[in-house]
Structure 1
Amino acid sequence: MHISIIDLIIFFAYCLLILFVGLFVSRKSKKEAQSAKGYFLAGRGLAWWAVGASIIASNISAEQFVGMSGSGYAIGLAMATYEWIAALGLLIVAKYFIPIFLKKKIFTMPQFLEERFDTRVKTVMAFFWLVVFVFINLTSILYLGALTIEKIMGVPMIIGILGLATFAGIYSIYGGLKAVALTDVIQVVFLVGGGLITTYIALDILGDGEGVIRGFSNLYAQAEDKFHLILDKSHPSYMDLPGISVIIGGLWVANLYYWGCNQYIIQRALAAKSVREAQNGMLFAGFIKLLVPLLVVIPGIAAFALNAPLAKSDEAYPWLLSNLLPVGIKGIAFAALTAAIVSSLASMMNSISTIFTMDIYRSYIRPKAGEANLVHVGRWASFISLVIAVAIAPMLSGLDQAFQYIQEFTGFVSPGALSIFLAGFFYQRATANGALAAALGSFVFSLLMKFLCPGLPWMDRMGIVFLLCCGLIILLRNRAQVSVQPIPRSLFHTGKLFNVLSCVIIAILIGFYCLWW
């Protein structure tokens, strides 16, 4: 695919800007980076805007731009449910999860489990998270990113994978979370701005010269069947988005787990200056989440309306970039997509290194390791995880909708993890044995139900497995005197601004579902 010199200049200017900022921040914080708190949690000094921007940049990657556009092409607006329910999930996590984590001053999610339960629970969950992060998330981000580069620029997939891995690794492995978070602020500007430009041009083309409003009207008229947030059982994609379950069922398991128990996301909030800064950052991220379907789902539906000749759904976004965008704009859009990929890779590597270093290395290999040694091991853990992902990523090329693959297999871990955290927060009689049974039961129940009940949508399966895991925790509860102190209700107090803006988000969500039910 031909790329103009102007597009290449814009793209490489973006690359140089990110590398410069990432390395500059790393250099400025060299002394701080030699401490574990400085490297893994940015010295706990992130402001709300950095927290929110880094959460969004970490979350939005190729799996959104490419994967969700592909699902938008194949399924329609129903895919927006992931983003819009996430906005509400962020509010719940900000109010009820974040105050607990920050009060305990933890580095990782497994560390919380160790403090609340015991070392066994921490180790099992740390192992599960490392496997999912390396073999599912990191590899899929690399694959989808390389797929896009291949479709747009004709770069062979393996070269694209190596290029993305190198780009993300140069500054993130050395600089730690501070370099990742502050470059994420720039990345968010690129990915939101570039995504909006792509959507604007696609709708403008559909408008036949009468503007984007007419384009959206024409899109709705041509693809009316794709503008439904709730699918009925007759829909061919019901197994992926099973009707009402997306708003009152299993999707909430994935939602609360991802935003509230997932090291990859929550690490940004752990690095905030205060509880208030963390909560405002998640509120900021919630507002951006309302906008995300316009960036990643609508383009997929537009590709469908434009009769894009695709071999598989995940080619929708690359097709738009290659065929619709003019010179100059293509470079900006391509930089936006690369920003999304690179920021997610950097964030994922940082979270992998934090869990391995703080929960495995310091616990079992070298308990008395110094600060500099922990940082050194963290950098090596990032590098090795990236090498593994580079080796595995090409194997995903047979998938049609990679986003659904990620969601389904992450769902083997999320029901048990969420049940454990909720029990750890709010169920004083929860025991380590119950938590361990839930952690192991989540994988076993999910695997059994996948093969014994193949006709059950995986999202419904997640909801059932979550209830089974909660049942295990209750069954193995402490029947003697409760020794765990209850959490004071005052810990969950939020300010007036947070409450008012949260109500605004909820009102907008109600409007969306009333409009496109």
Structure 2
Amino acid sequence: MNQKTLSIGDYAVFLIYFIIVAGYGFWVYKRKHNADATSKDYFLAEGSLTWWAIGASLIASNISAEQFIGTSGSAFKMGLAISTYEWMAAITLVIVAVFFIPVYLRNKIFTMPQFLHERYNGTVAMIMAIFWLLLYIVVNLMSILYLGALAISGISGLDINFCIIALAAFSVIITLGGMKVIGYTDVIQVAVLILGGLMASYLALTLLSEKEGTHGLLNGFAILKKEAPDHFHMIFKKDNPNYMDLPGLTVLIGGMWITNLNYWGCNQYITQRALGANLKTARGGILFAAFLKLLMPVIVVLPGIAAYLLYQKGMFHQEMMSHSGVTDPNKAYPALLNLLPTGLKGLSFAALTAAIVASLAGKANSIATIFTLDIYKKAINPEATDKKLVSLGKWSVVVAMVLGILLSFLIGEKLMGEGKQGFQYIQEYTGFVSPGIFAMFILGFFWKKATSNAALFATIGGFIFSCFFKLCPRFIDLSFLSPYGFSKLALQDDKVTQLYEIPFLDRMGFVFVLCVVGMYIISKIENARGVVPNGLVVDTSMFKTSRAFTAGALIVTGIVVALYSIFW
């Protein structure tokens, strides 16, 4: 078993990666930077990104430590089913490209709070801008930093706190160049992370086949399916121990849609890549990202399943133990990479770093965009010049990253250590606000009668409902719901001995329905009183697609249907 160290050769490979990314980023900055650039040019790279840069940047920003470490850890525990987040996202991206992006571009929407301000009012926009800042820093930025540092520490043997600071510093360097630098360097990041990820999968399958006295990737995959059949089901039954995380058909017809549509369609961090382009370019980039999404389980899920079987065969026991002796799924991917030979280990190390840095840079840029354009310019200094806004945006990046570092130091291990699934942590706590956000976005798009007070209800009420459904099983006996797989209380001597919460994906579905119903009722009452909401420019011609896009969308959908049919 290789030690948790990097050789001189590994560091040399990583240094080459660092020089290429930093050098290319500096070249892009010098070539495309304009001293008189507007704030929109800096934050959105308006009109500068090609379809392939948009698609690559979408994936590079999405695929980070939460996938390489979190998703692989969840695959170790529950198997292929965690791929639903990737494969359903591919179809979601098609929907976003067809129905969401045209609305944003036609109405010249550049940030999500701007959409809420124009569609509803400034109060809703300001509340959500603050919500998003807190969510991005407390949940996303902190989790990416901690999980990323955990992985890099597990591979290199470096102190985890040093890794947190180093990742943050590298990300700040990339982010300060603006969206142009982020977008174009993400093309390199995606190439590196895909190559490194495929290498980890190759290693895992080859190792499995060699342990059984055979050779080849296909033999390794056959062994994996044969000896870990419980890890190759996409839809869980109610008796599955992982049902709470992925409750049956909810991944196809329930809360998974809310998770994905909110993330890919109503999220500044993601949509920002496409908002500076024309419709054809934006749609092309998003479709390219959908195809890349289909590949992601090969890179981030398959290694986790392989690590599980290798663990069952006696490997990784020491590497995967937490400080308290608990098996930690988050250490599955680093344990696997430690088996790579010199050079290849450095490349995989670079791939992991690329994924983390790209995601951190994208997140920090979105934080700076929302704070600068939607809070500072609107509420603090409406007369601020573009030069002032760009300068403030850069300082916002630094401040946000420092806060992320501090949160990682203080609560990272408590929330995502000791055998907990980091990926599920991110999904669940983002889900406290996403149902309400998605409700007011979808009604804001397609129902002109939705009012600002109704949106305010979804914003605040959605969060309150989420907290209620999260906490109510602790105080209310919901055992009567157990036949439906929602919640169960086991009582012994009048004391609770076992508690199952409502699965968070189901919880999101309940909250979304309540928010939509509440918005409908409030809007109807206000409409009757003569309240006329602000409307957006929406017509059916906006949703027409080219033949090439339609063909690509059908191919993506067909592949997803085939995958679910095979691995049901």
Scaled by the length of structure 1, the TM-score of the pair is 0.98
Secondary structure of the residue that 1:487 maps to in structure 2?
A: coil
1:329 aligns to 2:344 (yes or no): yes
Contact 1:428 1:486 in 2 (8 A): no
| Per-residue Cα deviation, 1:199-256 (whole angstroms, up to 9, x for no partner) | 0111111122420000000011111101000111111111111111011100110100
Q: Give the drift of 1:43.
A: 2.6
2:120 counterpart of 1:69: no
Aligned residue type for 2:158: V
Measure the CA separation in 2 of the matches of 1:442 and 1:380.
32
Shift of 1:7: 1.0
CA distance in 1, matches of 2:521, 2:130: 25
Structure 2 match to 1:282: 286
Q: For structure 2, list consecutive stretches of 5 or more residues without a partner in the other structure.
A: 322-327, 474-499
Q: 2:513 maps to what in 1?
A: 467
Instruction: From the CA coordinates, give the structure whose radius of gyration is larger.
Output: 2
Go from structure 1 to structure 2 and tell me whether the alpha carbon gap of 1:98 and 1:305 turns closer, same or farther (over 3 Å shift).
same
Superposition map of 1:98-177 within 5 A: 98-173=101-176, 175-177=177-179
CA deviation digits over 1:104-131, x for unaligned, max 9? Answer: 2222011011111110110111111000
Q: CA deviation at 1:71?
A: 0.3
Asked whether the equivalents of residues 32 and 38 of structure 1 are also in contact (C-alpha less than 8 Å), the reply is no
Deviations 1:363-394 (A, max 9, x none): 11100100100101111111100000000113
- The correspondence for 1:316, drawn from 328, 332, 336, is 332
Superposed CA RMSD in Å reads 1.2
Deviations 1:183-207 (A, max 9, x none): 0000000001110111011111112
Give the secondary-structure state (helix, strand or coil) at the position aligned to 1:97. helix
CA distance in 2, matches of 1:137, 1:385: 11
Q: Distance in 2 between matches of 1:293 and 1:3?
A: 27
Specify the SS of the correspondent of 1:207: helix
Partner Cα separation in structure 2 for residue 280 and residue 222 of structure 1: 41
Give how far 1:27 is off.
2.2
Specify which structure has the higher proportion of helix: 1
Residue matched to 1:446: 466
Tell me whether 43-52 or 109-118 shows the greater mean CA deviation.
43-52
Say whether 1:267 aligns with 2:282.
no
1:24-423 aligned within 5 A: 24-31=27-34, 34-173=37-176, 175-208=177-210, 209-272=214-277, 274-307=278-311, 308-309=316-317, 310-311=320-321, 312-322=328-338, 324-394=339-409, 395-398=411-414, 399=416, 400-423=420-443
Q: Which residue identity is paired with 1:34?
A: A
Cα distance in structure 2, aligned partners of 1:120 and 1:381: 22
Contact in 2 for aligned 1:135/1:389 (Cα 8 Å): yes
Distance 1:264 1:485, change over 3 A: closer
Q: How far has the Cα of 1:102 moved from its partner? A: 0.9
The Cα of 1:491 is off from its aligned counterpart by: 0.6
Q: Relative to 1, partners in 2 of residues 1:32 and 1:203: Cα closer, same or farther, differing over 3 Å?
A: farther
Q: Which residue of 2 aligns with 1:425?
A: 445
Q: CA deviation at 1:29?
A: 2.9
State the Cα distance separating 1:2 from its structure 2 match: 2.7
The residue type equivalent to 1:126 in the other structure is: A
Question: Aligned partners of 2:465 and 2:47: how far apart in 1?
Answer: 38
d(CA) in 1 for partners of 2:36, 2:112: 21
1:21-76 C-alpha deviation (Å, 9 max, x unpaired): 12222222331673102110113321110100000000000000000000000110
Contact 1:253 1:414 in 2 (8 A): yes
Amino acid at match of 1:144: L
- Alpha-carbon shift at residue 455 of structure 1 (Å): 2.2
Given that 2:104 and 2:110 are in contact with CA atoms closer than 8 Å, whether structure 1 keeps it comes out as: no
Q: Is the 8 A contact 2:443 2:450 kept in 1?
A: yes
CA displacement, residues 463-505 of structure 1 (integer Å, 9 cap, x when unaligned): 1101111111101112348663662100101000110111111
**What percentage of residue pairs aligned between the two structures are identical?**
48
Shift of 1:356: 0.3
| 1:473 alignment partner AA | M
Q: Which amino acid aligns with 2:563?
A: F
Matched residue of 2:178: which SS?
A: helix
Query: Is residue 2:497 matched to residue 1:493?
Result: no
Secondary structure of 1:238's counterpart equals coil
Distance 2:511 2:376 in 1: 31
TM-score by length of 2: 0.89
User: Aligned partners of 2:506, 2:5: CA distance in 1, in Å?
Assistant: 45
Residues 58-107 of structure 1 deviation map (CA, whole Å, 9 limit, x = unaligned): 00000000000000001100000000000000000000000010112222
Amino acid at match of 2:552: L
Q: Aligned partners of 1:434 and 1:383: how far apart in 2?
A: 36
SS in 2 for 1:391: helix
In structure 2, do the counterparts of structure 1 residues 330 and 485 end up closer, same or farther at CA, with 3 Å as the change threshold?
Answer: closer
Contact 1:69 1:296 in 2 (8 A): yes
Distance 1:410 1:426 in 2: 24
Matched AA of 2:140: N
Q: Which SS does the other structure have where 1:44 is aligned?
A: coil
The aligned residue for residue 491 of structure 2 is: none
Q: Tell me, in whole angstroms, the C-alpha distance in 1 between the residues paired with 2:548 and 2:33.
A: 36
Give the Cα separation in 2 of the matches to 1:37 and 1:249.
36
For the 8 Å contact 2:139–2:426, the answer to whether it is kept is yes
**Compared with structure 1, are the counterparts of its residues 5 and 298 closer, same or farther at alpha carbon in structure 2 (3 Å cutoff)?**
same
Tell me the distance in 1 between the aligned counterparts of 2:448 and 2:110.
Answer: 23
Counting matched residue pairs gives: 514
Quick one: structure 1 residues 486 and 39, their matched pair in 2 at CA, closer, same or farther if it must change by over 3 Å?
closer
